[in-house]
């Protein structure tokens, strides 16, 4: 065997060349490259970046050095052209089937007064068969201008509605979902007598946790508050599975158009979960779903307590690990449960729509079974009562409550004594900022100035205590578009820009806080912060791209910003 001796310098050159080749081979090859825009990561250790590299559905690089990754002919390059990218937005509290059915039924979100509502119903009646139910959602009497001539306890009466729909039963849900408006035909089908001028008529038409609004003669006005809605709702034909699936698909499309890559479903029945599983099996689930089981179905809850949570640890396409409880009503319908009476209805405190004993027992069962509890509470009494029941459950099972992440959905109106308790008990408030923009102008009439200033929409008071806030829209209670809610978070104004400086401006979120409430903090509220919610290596490649820089433009320009692209798992799911 013959040995060849090389000079030392030659050997060193060969060695270094080999190392360089090895390093090059170890560099990941991106399937998607994003660059040339404003990239906000929602990651405090690296708030911005110039490049994002993705391999399949995961982020493999975030930073400023394009030499730290490789591309090839199969890499899709997205040139932002100066546009803005954030982590994929997460709707922190919504109702997915309601969004879908709003696309298929009467959408009353933009109705400006009672006469417009009647006109829309009259048009729908002209297209319907006699006897066919006409349903819809979105009206809000406190936002109407002008107000109806006749009001009973702050609501319109059914007379005009019934005149244009004598042969079709009508059932129109309030924007909040906590009240509904029915015509005479619908009430007659439910066994009520809307035109019998006798104070004894309908005397027995009451229901626990709700109210049938009546006129001076004791006759129903057409308004059904909270659980009283069931008196009429039970006669509406159920939707079939095909329509439900269509609604779910339409809702997904609406999410993607609005830059939403993740969705916290606030109370799903078993049928909806089965539909989501079906879409996932077919490869058509395009929005990552975090599902709260509806607390209305005790059999469903017991089934899941025995089964345990469903957690997709790899991609979180479908997680079922929370229980939704509806514990009071909405402020607009005067159903929110208050410690002191309504300023504009001094004999009324709102409604406890679920016994607090159920909150306590559910909290204990959830801890034992590995579930989170998310309880709806808008009024200050409802919030206090739920915090009390949560605390009892935590004390009963302290080891299981170490990372419970129990939530209160809405948490809109708090007594000052209860604000600190969110931090002490580590309870997450899921607060939809858009409610402040929509409700604050008339909420002061419901609560009075003192309660508004001390405890209404107190975002900054909670944030300064270290509490994480989950943002959202409560769609279809409010439109699904997250940009108005982002605007409300940082401006605390109506969408018309009122008032100058904002309502209680000391409670505004910063832009960074608002972005986190829609991304990493929303992910935390679903136990998902290690896989999504910020732009970091190893996390899921979910992004939202805007035509304007929402982190720096003027406040009013936020409302004129457009979602240009939505990317979920490294795939472009929507592009304008």
Instruction: Using pLDDT thresholds of 50, 70 and 90, give the confidence band for residue 6.
Output: very low
Q: In which domain, by residue range, is 222 found? A: 106-233
Nearest to 537 by CA among 86, 59, 49: 59
Residue 199 pLDDT greater than 70, yes or no: no
Assess if residue 137 is contained within a domain. yes
- Hey, what are 408's tokens? 């209160």
Most distant CA pair in the chain, distance:
119
Task: Encode pLDDT of 495-505 as tens digits.
Answer: 999 999 999 99
Assess if residue 445 is contained within a domain. no
In 421-498, the DSSP E strands lie at: 428-430
Predicted TM-score (pTM) of the model is 0.84
- What is the model's pLDDT at position 13? 39
146: CATH: 3.10.310.70
Assess if residue 507 is contained within a domain. no
Locus of tokens 């109370």:
267
> Which whole number is the average pLDDT over 179-206?
74
- Enclosing H/E stretch for 247: helix 241-257
Nearest to 204 by CA among 220, 215, 189: 220
Residue 462 pLDDT greater than 70, yes or no: yes
For residue 46, list its beta bridge partners.
none
For 310-332, letters b (16+ CB in 10 Å) and e give: eeeeebbbbbbbbbbbbbbbbbb
Residue 14 pLDDT greater than 80, yes or no: no
Contacts 24+ apart (CB under 8 A), 505-510: 506/460, 507/457, 507/458, 507/459, 507/460, 507/461, 508/459, 508/460, 509/433, 509/459, 509/460, 509/463, 509/469
- Low-confidence winner among 128-142, 269-283, 557-571 (lowest mean pLDDT): 128-142
Task: Encode pLDDT of 20-67 as tens digits.
Answer: 433 456 788 999 999 999 999 999 999 999 999 999 999 999 999 988
Residue 375 pLDDT greater than 50, yes or no: yes
Task: Encode pLDDT of 119-157 as tens digits.
Answer: 999 999 999 899 999 999 999 998 899 999 999 999 999
Assess if residue 91 is contained within a domain. no
- What is the model's pLDDT at position 196? 57
- What is the model's pLDDT at position 24? 56
- Enclosing H/E stretch for 575: strand 571-575
Q: Strand, coil or helix: what is 23? A: helix
For 96-114, letters b (16+ CB in 10 Å) and e give: bbbbbbbeebbbbbebebb
Assess if residue 455 is contained within a domain. no
Q: Is the peptide bond before 118 cis (omega within 30 degrees of 0)?
A: no
For residue 322, list its beta bridge partners.
292, 372
Assess if residue 408 is contained within a domain. no
Assess if residue 363 is contained within a domain. no
Assess if residue 39 is contained within a domain. no
Please state the domain count of the chain: 1
How many of the other CB atoms lie within 10 Å of CB of 200?
Answer: 9
Residue 4 pLDDT greater than 90, yes or no: no
């Amino acid at each position: 065997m013959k040995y060849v001796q090389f000079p030392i310098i030659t050997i060193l050159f060969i060695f270094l060349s080999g190392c360089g080749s090895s390093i090059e081979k170890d560099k990941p090859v991106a399937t998607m490259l994003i660059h040339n825009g404003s990239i906000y990561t929602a990651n405090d250790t690296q708030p911005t970046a110039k490049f994002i590299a993705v391999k399949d559905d995961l982020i493999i690089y975030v930073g400023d050095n394009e030499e730290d990754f490789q591309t090839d002919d199969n890499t899709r390059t997205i040139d932002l052209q100066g546009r803005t990218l954030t982590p994929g937005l997460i709707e922190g509290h919504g109702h997915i089937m309601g969004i879908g059915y709003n696309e298929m039924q009467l959408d009353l979100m933009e109705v400006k007064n009672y006469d417009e509502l009647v006109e829309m119903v009259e048009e729908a009646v002209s297209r319907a068969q006699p006897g066919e139910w006409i349903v819809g959602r979105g009206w809000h009497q406190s936002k109407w201008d002008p107000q109806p001539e006749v009001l009973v306890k702050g609501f319109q009466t059914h007379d005009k509605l019934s005149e244009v729909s004598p042969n079709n039963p009508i059932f129109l849900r309030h924007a909040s979902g906590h009240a509904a408006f029915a015509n005479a035909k619908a009430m007659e089908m439910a066994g009520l007598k809307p035109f019998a001028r006798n104070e004894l008529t309908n005397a027995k038409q009451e229901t626990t946790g709700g109210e049938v609004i009546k006129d001076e003669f004791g006759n129903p006005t057409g308004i059904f508050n909270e659980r009283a809605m069931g008196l009429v709702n039970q006669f509406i034909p159920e939707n079939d599975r095909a329509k439900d699936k269509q609604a779910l698909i339409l809702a997904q499309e609406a999410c993607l158009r609005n830059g939403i890559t993740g969705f916290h479903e606030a109370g799903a029945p078993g049928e909806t979960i089965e539909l989501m599983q079906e879409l996932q099996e077919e490869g058509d689930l395009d929005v990552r779903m975090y599902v709260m089981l509806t607390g209305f179905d005790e059999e469903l809850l017991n089934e899941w307590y025995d089964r345990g949570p469903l957690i997709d640890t790899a991609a979180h396409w479908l997680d079922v690990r929370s229980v939704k409880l509806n514990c009071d009503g909405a402020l607009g319908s005067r159903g929110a449960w208050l410690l002191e009476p309504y300023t504009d209805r001094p004999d009324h405190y709102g409604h406890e729509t679920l016994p607090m004993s159920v909150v306590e027992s559910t909290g204990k069962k959830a801890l034992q079974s590995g579930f989170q509890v998310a309880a709806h509470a808008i009024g200050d009494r409802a919030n206090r009562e739920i915090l009390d029941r949560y605390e009892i459950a935590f004390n009963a099972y302290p080891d299981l409550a170490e990372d419970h992440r129990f939530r209160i959905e809405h948490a809109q109106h708090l007594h000052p004594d209860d604000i600190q308790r969110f931090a002490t008990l580590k309870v997450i408030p899921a607060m939809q900022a858009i409610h402040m923009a929509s409700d604050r102008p008339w909420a002061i009439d419901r609560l009075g100035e003192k309660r508004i200033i001390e405890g209404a929409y107190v975002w900054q008071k909670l944030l300064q205590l270290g509490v994480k806030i989950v943002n959202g829209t409560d769609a279809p209670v409010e439109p699904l578009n997250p940009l108005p809610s982002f605007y409300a978070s940082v401006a605390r104004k109506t969408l018309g820009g009122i008032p100058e400086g904002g309502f209680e401006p000391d409670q505004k979120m910063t832009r960074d806080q608002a972005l986190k409430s829609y991304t990493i903090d929303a992910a935390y509220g679903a136990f998902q912060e290690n896989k999504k919610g910020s732009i970091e290596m190893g996390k899921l490649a979910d992004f939202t791209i805007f035509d304007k820089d929402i982190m720096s433009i003027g406040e009013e320009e936020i409302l004129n910003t457009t979602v240009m692209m939505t990317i979920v798992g490294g795939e472009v799911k929507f592009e304008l």
